[in-house]
Structure 1
Amino acid sequence: MQARAPARQAEKVSAVETDRTPVRGRSERRDAEFTEYLAARQAALLRTAYLVCGDRHQAEDVLQTALAKLYLSWDKVRDRGAVDAYVRRILVNETTSAWRRPWHRREQATERLPETAAHHDTYDDGGSAALWDVVRSLPPKARAVVVLRYYEQLSEAETAETLGVSKGTVKSQSSRAMALLRERTPAHLHPREEER
């Protein structure tokens, strides 16, 4: 009887090891797919997060949270073509949650910034920075609609799905946002001004 006990234990160990092998292989494949996705899309997603948030540091935090949530549910995302839409939805939801937090309301803007190295995105030619300052002055929901509709070039239906609202809400938010942008845009940035 004693001779059989070690054999049974050896069988159990080998069964456990073989059960883990496919999991390890699946995990490695998932990690490789996720890493490949990050390499291809992380910079674009950071730009989108920045445009939705209006703050580089908050955009990095929101994107990190969104990517962590994406990683945890990577195996559940069946349509790999919809991953960007899924991440954008998380970005908007996380940004909205951040705006609602009490500490966000207690922050105070200052006239003087601390000494830091300036960071300029390569896609900004200088004129667009002033325009994005105007976009950042929009209310959070309107800003999210503008970024998704006009920067990300999503359709009204895709924007509505990303924000979890109706298509009509996207249309009305977009209309109000564009009206506010027309009012708030300085004359030197107005397209008609460039034609003169």
Structure 2
Amino acid sequence: MRPRGATWDADTAVEQLYAAHWRQLVRLSMLLVRDVGTAEEVVQDSFVALHSRWSRLRDPEKALAYLRQIVVNRSRSALRHRSVVAKHAPLPEVTSSADEAALAHGQRDVVLEALRQLPERQREVVALRYYLDLSEADIAATLGISRGAVKSHSSRGLAALRLSLGSLMEDPS
């Protein structure tokens, strides 16, 4: 991304990383927080955090991995915040129609729902591996876990998805 031996200042680095990776990072966060607006906010805040910590970054070559880690951590925080708010929110009135049920049963919704049912770490590993196509080493660095843990979470997550999607796809209702 930058010439060998050249140094980046925070403004240039963040600008180039933003131009090259913003959309991909929003998609990653979207898979974790399940809301486009929240995902965009998480990613924007992550770029601001990277900029403010740029001088403390030991290896600027690993800025993208560090940025991914910030996005994942901030996505987790957004989910925790959402669960606290949900605990204290009044319950909405439940209404449904046949049309809404039919629309909600699309293939994309089925896959996203199955992904939502995975434990947090499995969902993160599966999203990083199969959505961003990261290697086991990159996922381990992003999440701060070992490569063995990445393999384990990936295997368990995929097995759970196969089981869940198999039963959801057979359910005609």
Taking structure 1 as the reference length, the TM-score comes to 0.63
Identity %: 36
Taking the TM superposition and a 5 Å limit, the aligned residue runs for 1:18-97 are 30-77=10-57, 79-97=59-77
- Pick closer, same or farther for the CA change 1:52–1:108 going to 2, 3 Å: farther
Distance 2:85 2:165 in 1: 26
| Secondary structure at the counterpart of residue 148 of structure 2 | helix
Unaligned stretches of 5+ residues in structure 2: 1-6, 96-105
Taking structure 2 as the reference length, the TM-score comes to 0.71
Distance 2:38 2:149 in 1: 26
Contact 2:42 2:74 in 1 (8 A): yes
User: Which amino acid in the other structure matches residue 54 of structure 2?
Assistant: W
- CA-to-aligned-CA distance 1:76-106 (integer Å, 9 cap, x gap): 4465543221111011111223333462452
Please identify the structure whose Cα radius of gyration is greater.
Answer: 1
User: Which amino acid in the other structure matches residue 97 of structure 1?
Assistant: S
- Aligned positions, number: 151
Greater alpha carbon shift after TM alignment, 35-44 vs 181-190: 181-190
Q: CA RMSD in A?
A: 3.0
User: Which amino acid in the other structure matches residue 92 of structure 1?
Assistant: V
Structure 1 position 72, deviation (Å):
0.7
Q: Which of 111, 121, 126 matches 1:146?
A: 126
Unaligned stretches of 5+ residues in structure 1: 1-25, 113-125, 191-196
Distance 1:174 1:33 in 2: 32
With a CA cutoff of 8 Å and minimum separation of 6, indicate the structure with the bigger relative contact order: 2
Contact 1:98 1:104 in 2 (8 A): no
Q: Which of 98, 103, 107 matches 2:84?
A: 103
Distance 1:83 1:189 in 2: 40
Equivalent position of 2:98 in the other structure: none
Structure 1 position 147, deviation (Å):
0.7
Distance 1:56 1:182 in 2: 26
| Secondary structure at the counterpart of residue 153 of structure 1 | coil
Equivalent position of 1:164 in the other structure: 144
Distance 1:88 1:172 in 2: 21
